[in-house]
Amino acid sequence: MAHVISEECIMCAACAGECPTEAISEGEDQYVIDADTCIDCSACVDVCPVEAISAE
């Protein structure tokens, strides 16, 4: 099960730097997680300052 980033994302990029598989990339309005690459480690959840990341 991959994680998803909600529209609360403030584009700070904290999550992208923590992802061990580089599954997180900058989208048009928010960062996005590639479900096929995400290994569900939750590293991104712990660093998000606005709690915009959750399990899908």
C-alpha 44, offset from chain centre = 5
At 5-16, the pLDDT tens digits run 999 999 999 999
Has this prediction a pTM greater than 0.75? yes
Architecture of domain 3-55: 2-Layer Sandwich (3.30)
User: What parts of the chain have a pLDDT lower than 70?
Assistant: none
Domain locations along the chain: 3-55
Q: What is the pLDDT at residue 39? A: 95
